[in-house]
Amino acid sequence: MTVEDQQAVREAGRAIRAGDEVDARLWPGYADRDQLREQLENYARDAIEAGREADYLAETDLAPFDAALVGINDDIEDRIERMSVSHDQLLAAAEAAKGLAPAERHQIRAVLADVEAGVDEDYELPELMWVDERSKAQLDTDRSHQQGAGLAETFCREAMQVIADGKTQPSNAHTQTLEGVLSTVGDNLYSVASGSVDDAHRTQFVKDRTELGRALTAAGVYDETKADIRELVDTRARQAGKLGRGAVEREQRWKTRTTEILARRDDARAQQHAARTARPRSTKTCATRVDRSAQTTSPAPTGARTAARRHYTPGVER
């Protein structure tokens, strides 16, 4: 945020603490990208539901009584009204909202065109809707979380399969306990893979792994199966660590990039401010010359002028 933006936030905070009513829209007219994305997602979701209902009405032979109730005992009318309002608001944002890049305006219009053309039930918004640095960094973070979630889910599924393929089958009660403990280990793998690679998470992982070993013993799982589970845990842990280190590196690069961008922006603004506020220097280096044509005194006699020239030496100040 600029210095002016920060000051606006401080003033709003002071007003809130004082109990005054504050307009949360500190910068009216500027686009809220998170809100626009949510509105686009809701618009697409409504369009999918509307298409599903239209297909049902077209393919189903409704009784006259049921057909007469269409649009009365449902939210079709509310959805159509909601979609109409959202469409106009989104289109207005694409045309006139402040703070959006040309590519972002085009992206909004393209999504609206896609939805109007008809979308499938698995339709999703473009992965990168916005071109600002924060959105790009958030996308990187989301990808790290998705990788971590996939790793944790795979681990839990594989571990339960190893137990099921073992020589002994735990009871239902022990199975539920094992699922809970494995889920806890999976949560830790997710955290590490998402970038939490500090000592506290490593310590917690060791505790969770130890607890898993106790649960396997209590469930009567053979040593051979326990060794397979332990190897699986260690393998997934190494993968989680590798993913986590990459996530941390990417996060740090984004922080560095953002800091550099803000520094360049602030420097440019400081230079512009200095240029606007600097007093212009005068181009005059001597007193205004007297307009001799306006003098009324008579010129000196010729003799006096000649004497003055004889006593003057060029380059020497008198």
Residue 191: the pLDDT is 94
Same domain? 144 vs 230: yes
CA proximity to 261, closest of 3, 34, 1: 1
Which structural domain, as residue segments, surrounds residue 83?
A: 31-131
Of 202, 227, 255, the residue at which a domain comes to its end is 255
- 195 burial level (CB within 10 Å; 0-12, 13-18, 19+): buried
Residue 294: the pLDDT is 44
Residue 16: the pLDDT is 77
Retrieve residue 40's tokens. Answer: 């686009």
Of 131, 166, 188, the residue at which a domain comes to its end is 131
Same domain? 139 vs 72: no
CA distance 39 to 41: 5
Same domain? 115 vs 175: no
Same domain? 154 vs 210: yes
Residue 105: the pLDDT is 95
- Domain-located, residue 315: no
Same domain? 117 vs 102: yes
- Domain-located, residue 287: no
Residue 212: the pLDDT is 94
Same domain? 168 vs 247: yes
Residue 279: the pLDDT is 60
Residue 108: the pLDDT is 95
Of 131, 152, 183, the residue at which a domain comes to its end is 131
Tell me the average confidence (pLDDT) per consecutive run of 10 residues in the chain, 318 residues long.
Answer: 68 76 69 92 91 77 68 77 94 93 94 88 83 88 94 96 88 92 95 89 90 93 93 95 93 88 84 79 50 46 44 42
CA proximity to 96, closest of 158, 31, 34: 31
The total domain count for the chain is 2
Q: What are phi and psi of 30, to 5 degrees?
A: -90, 145
Same domain? 168 vs 84: no
How big, in percent rounded to 5, are the helix, strand and coil portions of the chain?
A: 70, 0, 30
- Cβ 8 vs Cβ 26: under 8 Å: yes
